[in-house]
Amino acid sequence: MIERKNMARASPLLLVTLVLGFCFATYNLVTMVIHNRSISKWIVDDSNGGIFFDPVIEMPENVRKPKNTKMPFHVALTATDAPYSKWQCRIMYYWYKKHKDLPGSEMGGFTRILHSGSPDNLMDEIPTVIVDPLPAGLDRGYIVLNRPWAFVQWLEKTTIEEEYVLMAEPDHVFIRPLPNLASGGFPAAFPFFYIKPDQNEKLLRKFYPEEMGPVTNIDPIGNSPVIIKKDLLEKIAPTWMNVSLKMKDDPETDKAFGWVLEMYAYAVASALHGVQHILRKDFMLQPPWDLETGKRFIIHYTYGCDYNMKGELTYGKIGEWRFDKRSYLRGPPPRNLSLPPPGVPESVETLVKMVNEATANIPNWDAE
């Protein structure tokens, strides 16, 4: 057995050597991350008050933004003139306005990019820029293919004051003021558990050749939510559009990726331009799978929330109580939706309460 007193007599020279060696190794590792970003991805989860990194490397100081420096971003979402899209946009815009000027917010202006090609009845309510849809038949019924084309047009025809853009969607609700999560040339994005580049290498190599590097260079993200520099988005957007169309034209890829095809296309387009994202798990939550709002910034209500009256999830089966945006394809949900039964997660209850507050305060809610 080694006694403690002997351990205490370690050579000072040895200790100094070890410390210097550790510092040198850490410096090299951080440098490798900066210059060869395929080695790692920063994953930040501040939703429960903690920040975690994968691997255990903090974001390099030279890409952190200085404290007390505001970097406003422009909120931009693509939309159609369908009733289903319009009521979601109205709720989203209500909560944007409510949080925009609160402490901690770096939200700037707001634009609804309407890719229906003509005005609708929300032009006076929500700041809107009209762009053209894809030529008839090109989207093949996959309306989301219009999203990259809409951003290409918007970026070409619009001048905004902000240096950054948040790409958002109609079914996003701001829970609290959103700061700029990006850092210089490093955009911020939410990592989706179902976007798995490493498990789809064969397909992705059709669009991301081997000479570009490993498929792990492709982030597990979609285009939204993403906060990105406008000039960087201007470079990525045309590639995003072209990759989306090529993926849709490839039957194998189209079948495999389905409704998330355009998300993969954005991730591939970013990697083709050498852009990787800071992955922020606290950017967003998705009920019913995320049970608490915590310190997250956005609720994404893409999934249906079905429960029995005991508060038990009945996903895949219509519940005794439910909230599903697809129940309101032809018009807006009524005001004062019933709250979920006891035992349902806080995230679901918060979502319904926020929908109710918005619909109670938006004028002429039922007029669509």
The amino acid present at 103, given as its one-letter code, is P
For residue 264, being part of any structural domain is answered with: yes
| Between residues 164 and 1, the one the model is more confident about | 164
Residue 55's Cβ-count burial label (10 Å; 0-12, 13-18, 19+) is exposed
Strand partners for 172: 300
How do residues 62-79 score in pLDDT, each as one tens digit? Answer: 555 566 688 999 999 999
How do residues 248-298 score in pLDDT, each as one tens digit? Answer: 999 999 999 999 999 999 999 999 999 999 999 999 999 999 999 999 999
- What element of type H or E holds 352? helix 346-361
pLDDT score recorded for residue 20 = 38
pTM: 0.84
pLDDT score recorded for residue 45 = 54
Q: Assess whether 347 and 218 both reside in one domain.
A: no
Check: CB of residue 187 under 8 Å from CB of residue 278: yes
User: Rounded to whole angstroms, how far apart are CA atoms 44 and 305?
Assistant: 27
Q: Assess whether 267 and 180 both reside in one domain.
A: yes
Q: Assess whether 182 and 315 both reside in one domain.
A: no
pLDDT band for 57, please (50, 70, 90 cuts).
very low
How do residues 306-363 score in pLDDT, each as one tens digit? Answer: 999 999 999 999 999 999 999 999 999 999 999 999 999 999 999 999 999 999 999 9
Q: Assess whether 122 and 270 both reside in one domain.
A: yes
Residue 196 has pLDDT above 70, yes or no: yes
User: Rounded to whole angstroms, how far apart are CA atoms 50 and 59?
Assistant: 14
Domain boundary, last residue among 228, 244, 279:
279
What percentage of the chain has pLDDT greater than the value 70?
81
pLDDT band for 184, please (50, 70, 90 cuts).
confident
pLDDT band for 141, please (50, 70, 90 cuts).
confident
pLDDT score recorded for residue 12 = 40
| 82-88 contacts, C-beta under 8 A, 24 or more apart | 83/329, 83/330, 83/331, 83/332, 83/368, 84/325, 84/328, 84/329, 84/330, 85/170, 86/120, 86/121, 86/122, 86/332, 86/368, 87/328, 87/331, 87/332, 87/333, 87/368, 88/170, 88/171, 88/325
Domain region containing 258: 73-279
Mean pLDDT over the full length of the chain? 86
Which residues are within 8 A (CB) of 88 and not within 5 positions of it... i.e. 6 or more apart?
A: 170, 171, 325
> In total, how many domains does the chain have?
2
pLDDT score recorded for residue 26 = 33
For residue 17, being part of any structural domain is answered with: no
For residue 49, being part of any structural domain is answered with: no
pLDDT score recorded for residue 142 = 85
| Between residues 363 and 43, the one the model is more confident about | 363
pLDDT band for 50, please (50, 70, 90 cuts).
very low
Q: Assess whether 268 and 184 both reside in one domain.
A: yes
Q: Assess whether 232 and 183 both reside in one domain.
A: yes
Cβ neighbours, 10 Å, residue 314:
15
- Rg over alpha carbons for the chain, rounded to the nearest Å, is 23
pLDDT band for 43, please (50, 70, 90 cuts).
low
Q: Assess whether 207 and 329 both reside in one domain.
A: no
Q: Assess whether 327 and 264 both reside in one domain.
A: no
For residue 215, being part of any structural domain is answered with: yes
Q: Assess whether 84 and 197 both reside in one domain.
A: yes
Q: Assess whether 94 and 212 both reside in one domain.
A: yes
Domain boundary, last residue among 240, 264, 279:
279
Please report, for the domain that includes residue 118, its CATH number: 3.90.550.10
H helix intervals, 158-289 = 201-204, 230-249, 251-257, 261-272
How do residues 2-29 score in pLDDT, each as one tens digit? Answer: 333 333 333 444 333 433 343 333 333 3
For residue 192, being part of any structural domain is answered with: yes
Question: How far, rounded to the nearest angstrom, does the alpha carbon of residue 150 sit from its chain's CA centroid?
Answer: 18
For residue 322, being part of any structural domain is answered with: yes
User: Rounded to whole angstroms, how far apart are CA atoms 56 and 203?
Assistant: 31
For residue 45, being part of any structural domain is answered with: no
Q: Assess whether 77 and 155 both reside in one domain.
A: yes
* Token code pair at residue 310: 């005991």
For residue 195, being part of any structural domain is answered with: yes
The DSSP call for residue 322 is E
pLDDT score recorded for residue 247 = 97
Q: Assess whether 268 and 318 both reside in one domain.
A: no
